Amino acid sequence: MKKITLTISILLLFAATSYAQIQKRSVLVGASSNLGFSSTSYEGGDDNLNVFTLDLKTGYFVMDNLALGLRFGYNKYSVGDNDVSQTLFGLFGRYYVNGKIFFGAGYSSTKFEDSDASNSLPLEVGYAAFITDNIALEPSISYSIGLGDNDAKAFGLNLGFTLYFNR
């Protein structure tokens, strides 16, 4: 009896895992926002910023559960009565575990209104909660590390909405 229960459990686990994959040649199109909260600290400074972020992504699954794509973002920073806007363009990769938990990394170039571009390494971890076969709500945690002369580090809580085509 134990062997039958173990065999059925393994088969069910395999079936659930294989169904949960996001297939090669699928496409994702998504948007996310940090819903008004982000805490940024600069080396040698104690300033906290309020940030609104809109992040757009489109990606292509080059293999099961691995997407590569492009990212465009717009950020608005508020410190007291001062507002500064920022645009971002980058590349990203995302790997899905069981088609639901994802880990992402990328490379981004960011330009503030009146300054030179700076580069960063954004990292994320999140969960794709599918509300239909092709639509997911994606809460995630992000952390960005500045590269080169950019010594900024940023932590964010995000909520995304993503469409998956050919899933």
Residues 135-145: tens digit of each pLDDT:
999 999 999 99
Alpha-carbon torsion (160, 161, 166, 167), positive or negative = positive
Residue 28 backbone class (left: φ over 0; alpha: ψ -120 to 50; beta: rest)? beta
150 DSSP assignment: -
Q: Which two tokens stand for residue 48?
A: 């906290």
Q: What pLDDT, on the 0 to 100 scale, is given for residue 61?
A: 96
115 DSSP assignment: S
Residues 25-79: tens digit of each pLDDT:
999 999 987 655 555 655 655 556 667 778 899 999 999 999 999 999 988 877 6
SS3 category, 93: strand
Q: What pLDDT, on the 0 to 100 scale, is given for residue 17?
A: 44
DSSP 33-90: E-TT-EEEE-TT-----EEEEEEEEEEEEEETTEEEEEEEEEEEEEETTEEEEEEEEE
| Spatial separation of the C-alpha atoms in residues 94 and 164, rounded to whole Å | 13
Residues 11-26: tens digit of each pLDDT:
444 444 445 689 999 9
Domain spans, the chain: 2-165
Q: Which residues contact 117 (CB under 8 A, 6 or more apart)?
A: 109, 110, 111
- Domain 2-165: CATH architecture, name and number where available: Beta Barrel (2.40)
